[in-house]
Amino acid sequence: MHEVLSLSVGHRSNHLATQFFNCEEKKLYSQSAQENDFSVHLYPNHDKLNKTVSYTPRALLWEARAGFGSLGTYQYSQGEDYFYSTNNNKSEEGNVVWTSPKIPKSDYQAALDSGVGVPRLNSEAARYWSAYSRLIYSPSSFNMLRDWHHDVTKPDLPDFKGLNVHKFDTYEQGVQEFEENHLQEFFDGNFHTQLEQCDTLQGINMISSFDTAWGGFSSALLIELRNELPKTTVFAWNYYHRDVKINRAAIPSLESKIRGTIVCGEEADLVLPLAIKWSDSDWEQAGQTCRVLDTVNCVLSQRKDRQSMDYLKNSIAIGDQKRNFASSILEEEEHSYFADIPVFKNGHAEPYVFSECAITRGEGKETIKKNKTNMNTFEFLPSDTIPDQYREPAQFSLKLASTEKCRDAFLYWRDLTYKYLRSALDGEEVIENLATMAAAYEHGLYDDEDSGDDL
């Protein structure tokens, strides 16, 4: 019961990973430092001569070309040998082929390097997650798509070779990209290097976004990850956009959501579907959802009353490992995407709660109820990179629950699959999978005449 490796896939996911590790860095200098075992999420590099220790995140980040911003693979500030351009002129600094403009270091990073007060962040200043990352990553943390380039205007939709013709937007594109170009190299290379830095890996936080081809990419990765580490616990943290109107243009996004969710249901031990708004920037979305990610992971790394990933998983999936979705993620507001799904036809307005756990931050205590597990950890210590509106309150209770709401979501998606995706080669199989997943979350009686089970 020790190290946890965080694997984030895509630009939006890397913002969340960055906010989480920035909060870990904040704890290093706080009064609660003695309460936390930093080696769970950070790799300690000991300098025996100077009797000091430095930390690097236990992380694997996937990005498109130029998505790392000014950050270089082998140094904190990216050097000229990592920039590319379309002209054939040789740089004065060496043999360099330029394919995109140089990205300057952010004011925030420049202030960190100079040891002066950092400026306040906003959505524009934090367009790149590397612009406000406070910890130095290991070179083995970085993984890059070869042919897909970061698009500043659409940061979560990489562009094929920067030609502005094809976007990284379909599930099948993501699967094909991983399986054909990265599978063997990733597991034999950076993944193996990160594992060697762990004594007893207990599990993996896998962060992804399911509205684009990154959903297919992370699904293919998750399947191979399960083959490589069949007994390792995996938590899947998946972003879904709220308020998406279903039409022909939205079919690729819908397919990525559905197929990615099915894979997570089969391969992950616990699935946390995080809802985000189109109006928020990646930086703002990460700041809000970091409160959830940080809370769960504090329980895994605190010295007193520490719990394992398996314990948390079993707190949600009590008595039935098929119910591994946290359909309610409640803090000050509901963070679960499933909460927005309308009640399916003859479903229950008040969904049945199969199991629930509460993680209280600070001094508060939760009342123990039936089918409910209670845990405590220290109060939320936000990094200065968290947007102001999400830094408070520091003391709160996070409730994770497995509810009948999953039935609404899976049957709703089943009907949409029948309408929009049935013509796919495996369309009928997808419909059947969703119906099977929904059945695990049924409770009580339903009116068969209106159930919609027979399409």
> If DSSP states are collapsed to H, E and C, what string results for the chain?
CCCEEEEEECHHHHHHHHHHHHHHHHHHCCHHHHHECHHHCEEEEEECCCCEEEEEECEEEEEEECCCCCCCCCCCCCCHHHCCCCCCCCECCECCCCCCCCCCCCHHHHHHHHCCCCCCCCCCCCCCHHHCCCCCCCHHHEEEEEEEECCCCCCCCCEECCCCCCECCCHHHHHHHHHHHCHHHHHHCHHHHHHHCCCCCCEEEEEEECCCHHHHHHHHHHHHHHHHCCCCEEEEEEEEECCCCCCHHHHHHHHHHHHHHHHHHHHCCEEEEEEECCCCCHHHHHHHHHHHHHHHHHHHHECCCCCCHHHHHHHHCCCCCCCCECCEEECCCECEHHHHCCCCCCCCCCCCEEEEEEEEECCCCCCCCCCEEEEEECCCCCCCCCCHHHCCCCCEEEEEEEECHHHHHHHHHHHHHHHHHCCCCCHHHHHHHHHHHHHCCCCCCCCHHHCCCCC
Q: Residue 26 above 70 pLDDT?
A: yes
Predicted local distance difference test score (pLDDT) of residue 322: 82
Lowest mean pLDDT among 32-46, 56-70, 179-193: 32-46
Model pLDDT for residues 254-287, shown as the tens digit of each residue: 999 999 999 999 999 999 999 998 889 999 999 9
Is-contact 163 170, C-beta < 8 A? no
CA distance 205 to 232: 11
| pLDDT-derived band at 80, boundaries 50, 70, 90 | very low
Is-contact 173 180, C-beta < 8 A? no
Q: Is the pTM of this model over 0.75?
A: yes
Predicted local distance difference test score (pLDDT) of residue 45: 86
Predicted local distance difference test score (pLDDT) of residue 455: 56
Q: Which position has the higher pLDDT, 101 or 166? A: 166
Strands 233-241 and 203-209: parallel
Q: Hey, where are the domains in the chain? A: 4-70+105-407
Is it true that domain 4-70+105-407 has CATH number 3.40.50.1440?
yes
Q: Which position has the higher pLDDT, 448 or 418? A: 418
Predicted local distance difference test score (pLDDT) of residue 81: 36
